[in-house]
Amino acid sequence: MTPVSLVASRPDLETVRTGALGCTACGLAERRSNVVFGEGAPDSPLVLVGEGPGEEEDKTGRPFVGRAGKLLDRALAECGLDRTKVYICNTVKCRACDWSTGRPVNRPPTDSETLACRQWLVPQLAAIGPEVVLCVGAPSAKNLIKRDFKITVERGRYFPCEFARTAIATLHPAYILRNAGASSDGGFSLLVADIAKAWEAATRLREGRTSSVESGEGSPGLQPALEL
């Protein structure tokens, strides 16, 4: 049985959502159409955390619904998954744009925007209580795993994480779209492999099954109790 003290300290996801929808903590609030809080299965053992909403996401209020999102859906499908089995959200909940040309051009969120939005991301993850966080792209990994995360070198490995029993990072689908060409899938197969690995770990951890294998690349065995 879950100890009462843990139940009491877990935030309520809908309360966090309501707070986020009214947030004015940073300048992104001024021009947003929608706060893109997150969606999916709030009881999933796996949460995917991207960078931030783009144009389609801002319009619809839903995460990963543009071109990158369609690629993410394809990768999930290759793993036998869909949005009803995982929870998907972003590091920042509002679209970051450069308006200097008079029209909005997507830009990466700044450090201060990312910091301001942790007031929603942290309780959101606490409310869901995933076994595994999959950081989708370098900005998410830098926010949730470590500041100097090197996505091309360190993707696909288990790291300690305050917000789950382990975290893994993968390539961002927008990066894959930019890199794909006639002779390369741009890293799509790596995205699929990382999602599959994260899901495997998440379901095994949720089931409470453990077996000891070597730590490092093959195992989230950063703390002995968590080894798969």
Min dist. Cβ of residue 85 to ligand URA (A) = 18
Q: Which CB atom, from 68 or from 164, has the smaller least distance to ligand URA?
A: 68
Q: Which CB atom, from 152 or from 223, has the smaller least distance to ligand URA?
A: 152
Question: Quick one: 29 exposed, middle or buried, by C-beta within 10 A (0-12, 13-18, 19+)?
Answer: middle
Q: Which CB atom, from 104 or from 204, has the smaller least distance to ligand URA?
A: 104
If binding is defined by CB under 6 A, does position 114 make contact with ligand URA? no
* Eight-class DSSP state of 28: H
Count other Cβ atoms within 10 Å, centred on residue 40: 19
The DSSP result for 125-182, as a single string, is HHHH--SEEEEESHHHHHHHT-TT--HHHHTTS-B--TTSSEEEEE--HHHHHHH-BT
Among 38, 69, 130, 187, binds ligand URA (CB under 6 A): 69
Counting residues that bind ligand URA (by CB under 6 A) gives 14
Min dist. Cβ of residue 137 to ligand URA (A) = 6
Question: Quick one: 22 exposed, middle or buried, by C-beta within 10 A (0-12, 13-18, 19+)?
Answer: exposed
Min dist. Cβ of residue 4 to ligand URA (A) = 36
Q: Which helix (H) or strand (E) holds 195?
A: helix 188-207
Binding mask 131-160 for ligand URA (x = CB under 6 A): ------x-----------------------
Q: Which CB atom, from 53 or from 221, has the smaller least distance to ligand URA?
A: 53
Q: Which CB atom, from 169 or from 205, has the smaller least distance to ligand URA?
A: 169
CB 89 within 8 A of CB 191: no
Q: What are the φ/ψ torsions at residue 38 (nearest 5 degrees)?
A: 145, 165
Interface residue list for ligand URA (CB under 6 A): 50-54, 57, 63-64, 66, 68-69, 90, 137, 174
